[in-house]
Amino acid sequence: MLLQIPDLLSADEVRQARQLLEGAPWADGRDSAGPQAATVKNNQQLPHDAPAARAIRSLVLAGVERNPLFLTAALPKKIFTPRINRYGGDTPFYGAHVDNAIRFTADGERVRTDVSCTVFLSDPDEYDGGELQVQDTYGPRGVKLPAGHAVLYPGTSIHQVTPVTRGHRLACFFWIESMVSSDEQRRLLFELDMSLMRLREGHGETDEAVSLTGTYHNLLRMWADT
């Protein structure tokens, strides 16, 4: 399931993030890539402990915690430490790759990469190219969103960032270990939850809504690993 999350960060939070990135100490993005990904990765990344990285990480995690669409779609159990990258100039792209199934945080905690997330920090008119392309059943799907918006997609997907030919593309990215590891099961739960919300908005708390809510939670109880 590929899902856009509008306004994960507010306009003010995007401005804060952009100010923090002025004069930031960018490093070679290949330092955090696996063996296959490193052969096609050509971007820059903020060091994990850079002050700007820590501050932007806090902004993004706060945005995640208050966003109901993110929470119901990802059903997060663990979140890998968000990182910040930049594309442009001599480091403009990240070729087709699949993310490592398991990532290790700085303190050694394992995080299974069920769901990938990109939070855009540049507006589309600031750069040419730089589209996130995700392969799904029907071929590649391109994503290029306004600053502050995010996209969720399965960690199992082959994906790439196309070359940036003008300007710079700034983004925050991270992975989620979901309580429900199956993308298909997460999608079914998400669709059921969204339908329940529309049912309540249109008809109130009916007997049918109560019954379907029970079905949702019983499925989540059956599939979730907490």
Let me know whether 22 and 67 are in one domain.
yes
Let me know whether 124 and 191 are in one domain.
no
Q: How many CA atoms lie within 13 Å of 193's alpha carbon, on the beta-carbon side?
A: 18
Let me know whether 127 and 210 are in one domain.
no
Let me know whether 52 and 75 are in one domain.
yes
Let me know whether 146 and 203 are in one domain.
no
| Structural domain total, the chain | 2
- Report the alpha-carbon distance of residue 5 to residue 40 in Å, rounded: 28
- Report the alpha-carbon distance of residue 42 to residue 121 in Å, rounded: 19
pLDDT digits (tens, 9 = 90+) for 86-115: 999 999 999 999 999 999 998 899 999 999
Q: Give ∠ CA 81-166-158 in degrees, rounded to 5.
A: 45
Let me know whether 84 and 160 are in one domain.
yes
**What integer pLDDT is reported at residue 186 of this predicted model?**
98
Let me know whether 110 and 212 are in one domain.
no
Let me know whether 198 and 148 are in one domain.
no
Q: Give ∠ CA 62-184-186 in degrees, rounded to 5.
A: 30
Full DSSP string of 52-116: HHHHHHHHHHHHHHT-HHHHHHH-EEEEPPPEEEEEBTTB-EEEEE---SEEE-TT--EEE-SEE
- Contacting residues for 30 by C-beta, under 8 A, at least 6 apart: 38, 41, 42
In one-letter notation, the amino acid at residue 133 is Q
**What integer pLDDT is reported at residue 70 of this predicted model?**
98
Let me know whether 85 and 153 are in one domain.
yes
Q: Which structural domain, as residue segments, surrounds residue 194? A: 183-223
**What integer pLDDT is reported at residue 35 of this predicted model?**
72
- Report the alpha-carbon distance of residue 60 to residue 17 in Å, rounded: 10
Let me know whether 219 and 123 are in one domain.
no
Q: Report the predicted TM-score, pTM, of the whole model to 2 decimal places.
A: 0.95
Q: How do beta strands 3-5 and 150-154 pair? A: antiparallel
User: Where is 167: in which H helix or E strand?
Assistant: strand 164-167
**What integer pLDDT is reported at residue 36 of this predicted model?**
73
- Report the alpha-carbon distance of residue 18 to residue 133 in Å, rounded: 24
Let me know whether 51 and 132 are in one domain.
yes
**What integer pLDDT is reported at residue 22 of this predicted model?**
96
Q: Give the residues of the chain that fall short of pLDDT 50.
A: none
Q: What is the CATH number of the domain that holds 198?
A: 4.10.860
Q: What is the CATH number of the domain that holds 48?
A: 2.60.120.620
In the chain, which ranges are continuous DSSP H helix? 11-20, 35-38, 51-65, 68-74, 183-203, 207-223
- Closest C-alpha among 35, 66, 48, 70 to residue 151: 70
pLDDT digits (tens, 9 = 90+) for 176-199: 999 999 999 999 999 999 999 999
Let me know whether 71 and 33 are in one domain.
yes
